[in-house]
Amino acid sequence: MLRNTEMPKPDYGIDAPGVIRNLFLVAAACAAMCWILPAVTAGGIQFILTPMWRNTAIGCAAGGALMLAYSKFMKFQHRDRMLAMVNWRGDERVLDVGTGAGLLLIGAAKRLTTGKATGIDVWSLVDLSGNARERTLRNAEIEGVTEKVEVLDGDATAMQFADGAFDVVVSNLVIHNIPSRGARDKACREIARVLKRGGMAVISDFVNTGEYAKEFAKAGLEVEGRRWSWGTFPPLRVVVARKR
């Protein structure tokens, strides 16, 4: 009798795991405060605190649950919307900036025939649970695109690629993690530098997308707009720019 063996599934991790954890912890603490400190008296006046604790608990729990839902479900639809903005030929050289577990990288690789997709990352565990080059390569193997991808250590603000090396550059929820405005601007300039003439950048984030669009325009890219990607939490906008 043959034993059924389940095929391994790719693991694309939990985005911002520390934020999700803290939201649930605050929610639990506020729920407890409804019982521990439902009211306080100051100046002979009693202030009822239960609604404040309750509403904060509900808000934090809902935020944590929505962020978890994004990691488990929403980000796959968001990836597909981003990649659908590219008119694929199949022979493109693609760069995924801040590839993490390879969600965009592998999605792009599946659209390639003779092309190649490269992912770079600094492998921060704060930004993605279990973030490691080895897991990205394992996901590529499971998804059947090992021959179409390469995964490298790399800083978005100082990429080790030649000018005009890529037809398509993609990135999702990465650039905002760079702490200073100057460094974020430098990352945008690097994206513009490594993009070929006629190439396309598709960059998504929940903040600072106006900054990215301005910096791309300064670097000579034609910014086609910033588009909302509905059905994500937090709501994301996608900057689309081309190098003429």
Q: What structural domains and CATH numbers belong to the chain?
A: 17-78 (no CATH), 87-243 (3.40.50.150)
* Three-state secondary-structure class, residue 226: strand
Model pLDDT, residue 5: 61
Please say if the pLDDT value at position 71 is more than 80: yes
Where residue 235 falls among pLDDT bands split at 50, 70, 90?
Answer: very high
Percentage, residues of the chain above pLDDT 70 = 98
Please say if the pLDDT value at position 1 is more than 80: no
Helix (H) or strand (E) holding 187: helix 181-194
pTM surpassing 0.75? yes
The mean of the pLDDT values for the chain is 96
Where residue 3 falls among pLDDT bands split at 50, 70, 90?
Answer: low
Where residue 43 falls among pLDDT bands split at 50, 70, 90?
Answer: confident
Where residue 4 falls among pLDDT bands split at 50, 70, 90?
Answer: low
How far is 87 from 91, CA to CA, in rounded Å? Answer: 11
**CB contact burial 208-226 (16+ within 10 A = b; e otherwise):** bbebbbebbeebebebeeb
How far is 102 from 67, CA to CA, in rounded Å? Answer: 19
Where residue 2 falls among pLDDT bands split at 50, 70, 90?
Answer: very low
